[in-house]
Amino acid sequence: MHNLMHQPVYRLNWMISGQFCDAVIKVEDVEFEIHKVILCKCSPYFLALFQRWSSSNKKVFVIPGMSPDIMRLIIDFAYTSSVSVTEENVQELLMAADQLNVMDVVQTCCDFLGEQLRADNCISIFQLTDIVLSAELQHRAYRYMADHFEEVAYHDEFLQLPLQQLIDILERDDLNVRNESVAFEAVLRWIDHVPGERKAHVAVLLSKVRLALMSMDYMRLKVLPNELMKTNTESATMVWDALKSISHIRTSNSSVAQLRNPLARPRLPNAILLAIGGWSGGHRTNGIEAYDVRANYWINVTNNCEWPRAYHGTAVLNGSLYCIGGFDRAEHFNSVHRFDLSTRFWHEAASMCHRRCYVSVTVLDECIYALGGFDGRTRLSTAERYRPEANQWSLIAPMQEQRSDASSTTLHNRVVSTHETAYDPENNSWHEVSPMLTPRSNFGIEVLDDRLFFVVGGFNGFTTSFKVECYDATTDEWTEACDMDMFRSALSCCVVSRLPNMAEYVVSRDALPFLNEDANSDKQS
């Protein structure tokens, strides 16, 4: 009998037949005949209700605080081990399951809500976790809110945020705003929703906005003329302090100047650019550097367990960085190594079917594709696909042409080649983009922040380079970005987004002022 009690089909037959019922659960005016032993199996609440909180001869148990429909779902779950969760019933069902300590239903509801996160509901789901304790759902809801803040700030739920929750969100380094004006305008919208009550909080909220990261033009045209800034003395002082900081950053020619001022502290990036391997100082290297676009700073994250390689391809898939193929001036590789970005350990993956350097690598539908390349004797038209769940490469249809050393990326639905041309698929046409500031070959190229693409390192005709340039598609202009620590060419670049341990791959915000001082002293010495 004990084993049969664990089988949902057996319990379901009991429920349908109504045999051997020994208690009644009453919710409002609806009564449910139940078997105590079955409800006790799904929740310690019922065990306590039937054994410790009532006499042995009691038959009817009244459950307050929920509807009969929700109680029916929970009783059905006790008998069938399954429950139907919908957008309409999930919140009420979660509250009831939490009240009755039916933790399997609580987990099912939390999983459902985690999959339903949107810009218009993530705040209410986050607030729900203050009532129903779920660290996992709370983290997922906060991450969605922080990652999609620009959208979230335009929905009604944002306007209902309590003051302290808004302060907590704004002061986080991991709040994802491409421009700090997004945070400033969100504060104004929140205040304007109930101005008489909320304008008194403008100074404390403004102190959480990184004002000194805004442009001088935006500060003069949008911030200074705002009535709240002009009528609140504390806010006006902060604005003028921010303007002084912006001016100092410009004149000192340092993007991390004055970072002791919290108004100029860069937030954590949503994505980082990794530069991997290549040739440096006449030798292949295993060096890995990560570029923090918000702080305009490179950090060395090299793991010395990796084999040095150059002319290789890279791809990021499911939290791992794959280094594919390559060449060391003696051997052409078909080997593949996987770097776990969470644990920062290297693992060997299945080798490709063909040796390939100068290989083009991309990811599509949870698979990695290696296209063309050079095997030491000929340029290749072959292509192959890697399935990580099987750890296996398989050949796919060959390309129409042999090709190697092909580098390109996509930006704003256009394909951008390394020859300073861009293809627009809507018009089926190519057009030139502005030339780079420095001629180079064998460089890395990647898109970051959805509007900028970076060219990294390379060979300038005389030597390998550590120079980095950034192209802004909206202005068709190139600007210099922070130099790498390492001179290198024949490297590979890739972008990694939304790492749970992103702080390990960016410069410490608390260390930035001291790093800046070291850099300045090095330049002066």
Band of pLDDT at residue 21, cut at 50, 70 and 90: confident
How many Å apart are CA 130 and CA 292, to the nearest integer? 33
Q: Average model confidence (pLDDT) for the chain?
A: 86
Mean pLDDT of 412-418: 49
Q: Are 467 and 505 in contact (CB under 8 A)?
A: no
Q: Give the relative orientation of helices 68-80 and 90-99 as an angle to the nearest 10 degrees.
A: 70
Q: Are 332 and 279 in contact (CB under 8 A)?
A: no
pLDDT of residue 319: 93
pLDDT of residue 446: 84
The phi-psi region of residue 191 (left if phi > 0; otherwise alpha if psi is between -120 and 50; otherwise beta) is alpha
CA-wise closest residue to 255 among 228, 293, 290: 293
Of the two residues 307 and 202, the one the predictor is more confident about is 202
**Looking at the predicted structure, is the pLDDT value of residue 202 above 90?**
yes
Band of pLDDT at residue 4, cut at 50, 70 and 90: very low
How many Å apart are CA 195 and CA 183, to the nearest integer? 18
Q: Give the length of the chain.
A: 525
- Show the CA angle centred on residue 281, arms to residues 313 and 331, nearest 5°: 45
pLDDT of residue 442: 81
Least confident among 1-15, 113-127, 437-451 = 1-15
pLDDT of residue 124: 96
pLDDT in tens, 42-73: 999 999 999 887 777 788 999 999 999 999 99
Least confident among 10-19, 197-206, 330-339 = 10-19
pLDDT of residue 106: 97
Q: Are 384 and 393 in contact (CB under 8 A)?
A: yes
Q: Are 296 and 448 in contact (CB under 8 A)?
A: no
Tokens of 162: 């309590």
Residues contacting residue 428 through CB under 8 Å, at least 6 positions apart:
none
Mean pLDDT of 67-81: 94
pLDDT in tens, 146-162: 999 999 999 999 999 99
Q: Which CATH class is domain 4-116?
A: alpha beta
CA-wise closest residue to 235 among 260, 217, 209, 261: 209
How many Å apart are CA 478 and CA 420, to the nearest integer? 11
pLDDT of residue 252: 66
Choosing among 3.40.50.1820, 3.30.1360.70, 1.25.40.420, 1.10.645.10, the CATH entry for 161-264 is 1.25.40.420
Mean pLDDT of 301-327: 89
Q: Are 126 and 113 in contact (CB under 8 A)?
A: no
| Domain extents in the chain | 4-116, 161-264, 271-308+406-508, 312-320+334-357+359-404
- Evaluated on CA atoms 117, 119, 121, 127, the torsion sign reads positive
Q: Are 453 and 446 in contact (CB under 8 A)?
A: yes
**Looking at the predicted structure, is the pLDDT value of residue 454 above 50?**
yes
Q: What H or E segment, with its residue span, contains residue 244?
A: helix 233-252
Band of pLDDT at residue 417, cut at 50, 70 and 90: very low
- Show the CA angle centred on residue 94, arms to residues 91 and 98, nearest 5°: 145
Band of pLDDT at residue 289, cut at 50, 70 and 90: very high
Least confident among 191-195, 358-362, 417-421 = 417-421
pLDDT of residue 13: 55
